[in-house]
Structure 1
Amino acid sequence: MQISLQTYRPALLKFQSLIALLILCLTIGLLSDKFFTVANGWNVLRQISVNVCISVGMTLVVLTAGIDLSVGSVLALSGAIAAGLLRNGIELPASNLYIGFTVFGAIVAGLLTGSVLGWFNGWAITRFKLPPFVATLAMLTIARGLTMLWTEGFPITGLGDSFTFLGTGWLLGIPLPVWISGGIVLVVVLLMDQTRFGRYVYAIGGSESAARLSGVNINRIKMLVYTMAGGLAAVGGLLVTSRLDSAQPNAGTSYELDSIAAVVIGGTSLSGGRGSILGTVQGAVIIGVLNNGLVLLNVSPFWQQVVKGIVILLAVIIDKSSSRND
C-alpha cells in the first residue's frame, strides 16, 4: 500500500507549531549545554509570560483582520505610569495636596492606562475608518512620546518588594508571571469558545459585511478587542517593570514584533477569521525559545532581529500557502 505525504498533510499542518518547537529545542540543546537546565527553563517561562499576555491581545485583533503596532509603547507607558505613581504619587502644589498610591492602586492605574489607549485605537479605527496599521502606528509614536515625557528620559526605580513580587515571586513552586499569563490564557480561551463575543470576533474576521448583515455590532466588538489588547499589553508592562524593579523609558521596544511573530507562527491568519489562542501560546513559546537559544549561542542582537524577521516571513508564506490549498 503506497502512502503519500499528502495523506499526512492535515496532521502535519495541525501540529506544525509543536513539530517546529521540538526541532528547535533539540537543535539548541545540541549546540548549548545550558539550554536543558532547570534555571534556564524557568527563565524562559518568565520571559514567555510577558509575550503571551501581549500576544493573546494581538490574536484578538488579528482575528478581526486588524493589527496593533502600538503594544510595545503601550506596555512602556503603562509600566511607567504605575511605577511613577507608586514611587512619587501625585503632587498638587496649588492645593497643597499630595496623593499617594498603594501597590494595588498603581497596578489599577497601569491597567487603566493600557485599556484607555487601546480603546482610543479602536475608537479611531471605527469612528474615522482609519486602517488599523495607520491608527496603531500613530499610537505607537504617541505612547512612546508620553512615556519619555512622564519619565523625563530616566528610569523610575526603587519600587519596593511588594511590587517586584509581581514579576519575581513564586507561588506553589511556579513563577508568579506564569500563573498570571496562564490565567489570562484560560479566561480568553473560554471567552472565545463559549461566548457570543468569541463567535462575533471570528465572524468579523471571516467576512465583515456578512457579520454586519447578521446583526453584529461591528464597531462595538472592534472597540472591545482593541481595549482588551491595550489592557493585556499593560499587564505585560507591569510584569516587565516589576521584574526589573524599574520602569525604563525605552521598555517594550520591538515587543510588537515578537507578538506578531507569535500570532503568525501559532497559525492565526493575518487575513482574519482563522486561528486560536492556544496556537498563539505555542507561537510565543517558539519565539521565547528562539530568543533564549540565540542568546545562549552568543548570536549578535543584530542577527537576532534578522533571524526573527526571516521566521515571520516563513510563517506568513506557510499561512498563505495553507489558505490557497484549503
Structure 2
Amino acid sequence: MKNFYLFCLKHSTLMFFILMLIISGLLTDRFYSLENITNVLRQSVPLGIVSLGLLFVILTGGIDLSVGSIMALVSVVIALVIPDYGILGSMLIALFVGTIIGAAAGGLVSYFKVAPFVATLAMMTIARGLALIVSKGQPVFIDNDAFTDFGTGYLLALPLPFYVLLICFFGVFFVFKKTVFGRLVISIGSNEVATQFSGIQVERYKFWVYVICGLACALAGILATTRTGVGSPVFGIGFELDAIAAVVVGGASLSGGKGTVTNTLIGVLILSIISNLMNLLNIPGYHQQVVKGGIII
C-alpha cells in the first residue's frame, strides 16, 4: 500500500490524467465518441506546441507572457502574405516573425537584465499592437483551400495537426534527454550561479530558450490558423495563462529546474479534456474559468 502511494505521488500528473479520463466517461457517454476524441486532439495542438516551447523558458526560471500575442501576429501575417508568397513562403515569413519577437524578449532578459515578466509583458503589448496595426483591427480571411485543408484533414483517423505536435514532442524530448543544451537549461534553472561559475555562458542559453519559445508560438499560430482559416488580431487573448497552467499542471516549477516533457504534454491534455468536458456538459464559459482555476490549484 505504501509503495502504491509513493508511486501515485511520484506520478501524480499521470494519475490525475487517468482519473479525468474515468470521470469524463462517467459524466457523459459522448466523451469517448470518435468525433469528440479527434476534436480534443485537434484543439490540444496549439496549446501543446506553445507549452513545449514555454517549458524551455520556465525551466530556466523565466516566464513568457507574449505567447498569445505572437500567435495573433503570426496568424495575421500569414493571412496577409499567403496570396503573394504561397503557403511555404508565408509560413517561413510567419515563423521568422515569431522567432524575432522571441529573440527580442530573450535579448532583453539575457543581455539587458530586464526581468522576464517585464520584458515579455512589453513584447506581449508590442506584438498585439502590431497585429492590430497590420490587420487594421479586422480579421483577415484566407482563401486557400490547400492551407485550410491541412487544419481540418485526417491521417489514419488522427487530425493532421496532431502529428506536428507529436513531432515537436519527440524533438523536445530528445533535446532534454540527449543533448548538452537541454541539460544546461535545467541546470540554469536549478542553480544559475553555480552553472555560471562552471564556465557556462548562461546569457547565451537564456537567450535561446526565448527564441525557441517564439518559434513554437509561431508554429502554433500557423496551425491554429489552418483550422480557422482566419488571421485574427484578437486571437490568443489569455492563451499565455493556459500555456503556463498546462506546464504547471504537468508538474513544472515556476522557480525553474523542475519539469518534464511528458508531463507537460499530459498537462496539456488534462486542460483540453477539462474544457471539452465542460462544453459537453453545457457549462457556461464564465463558469468554466472558475472550474479550471480550481483544478489548477
What's the TM-score once normalised by structure 1's chain length?
0.88
Please tell me the residue identity of whatever aligns with 2:142.
G
What amino acid sits opposite 1:47 in the alignment?
Q
Residue of structure 1 in register with 2:214 after alignment:
230
- 1:238 shift after superposition: 0.5
Q: Which amino acid in the other structure matches residue 85 of structure 1?
A: V
1:256 — aligned with what? 240
Tell me the CA shift for residue 30 of structure 1. 2.0
Shift of 1:31: 2.0
Give the greater-gyration-radius structure (CA): 1
2:79 corresponds, among 73, 80, 83, to 83
Deviations 1:53-101 (A, max 9, x none): 00001111100000111100011101111111113xxxxxxxxxxxx21
- 1:293 Cα deviation from its structure 2 partner: 0.6
User: Aligned residues, how many?
Assistant: 297
1: CA distance, partners of 2:9 / 2:150? 37
Q: Larger deviation: 296-305 or 20-29?
A: 20-29
Distance 1:175 1:166 in 2: 9
The reply on whether 1:272 has 2:256 as its aligned counterpart is yes
Find the aligned partners of 1:211 and 1:159 in 2 and give their Cα distance. 50
Report deviation, 1:170: 2.0
CA shift for structure 1 position 26: 2.1
- Whether contact under 8 Å (1:125, 1:135) holds in the other structure is yes
Q: Which residue of 1 aligns with 2:283?
A: 299
- 1:190 maps onto 2:156 in alignment: no
- Residue 108 (structure 2) aligned to one of 117, 124, 127: 124
Task: Give yes or no for the alignment of 1:170 onto 2:170.
Answer: no
* Paired AA for residue 293 in structure 2: G
Query: Shift in Å at residue 9 of structure 1?
Result: 3.9
Cross-structure match for 2:187: 203
Amino acid across the alignment from 2:200: V
Q: RMSD of the TM alignment (CA)? A: 1.3
Matched, 1:23 2:6: no
Paired with 2:153 and 2:34, the residues of 1 have a C-alpha distance of 17
Residue 164 (structure 1) shift: 1.0
- Partner-residue secondary structure (3-state), 1:42: helix
* Alpha-carbon distance, 1:174 to partner: 2.1
Counterpart contact for 1:47–1:288, Cα < 8 Å? yes
- The one-letter amino acid paired with 1:26 is I
1:49 and 2:33 matched: no
CA contact (8 A) 1:159 1:246 kept: no
Equivalent AA in structure 2 for residue 262 of structure 1: A
**Letter of the 1:300 counterpart:** P
Q: Is the 8 A contact 1:262 1:284 kept in 2?
A: yes
Query: 1:14–1:113: structure 2 CA closer, same or farther, 3 Å change rule?
Result: same
Q: How far off its partner does 1:172 sit?
A: 3.5
Where structure 1 has 5 or more consecutive residues not aligned to the other structure, the ranges are 88-99, 315-326
Aligned AA (2:206): K
Question: C-alpha separation between the residues in 2 aligned to 1:117 and 1:178?
Answer: 25
- The answer for the alignment partner of 1:59 in structure 2 is 55
Question: Aligned-pair distance for 1:20?
Answer: 1.0
Aligned-partner residue type, residue 271 of structure 1: S
How big is the shift at 1:159?
Answer: 3.0
TM-score by length of 2: 0.97
Is the Cα contact below 8 Å between 2:49 and 2:165 reproduced in 1?
yes
- Any conservation in 2 of the 1:55–1:262 contact (CA below 8 Å)? yes
Match of residue 89, structure 2, among 84, 105, 111 = 105
Whole-Å separation in 1 of the counterparts to 2:293 and 2:129: 26
Shift of 1:190: 0.5
Q: In 2, distance between residues paired with 1:63 and 1:159?
A: 40
Runs of 5+ unmatched residues, structure 2: none
Deviation of 1:17 after TM superposition, in Å, equals 1.4
Q: 1:290 to 1:164 in 2, by over 3 A?
A: same
SS of the equivalent of 2:85 reads: coil
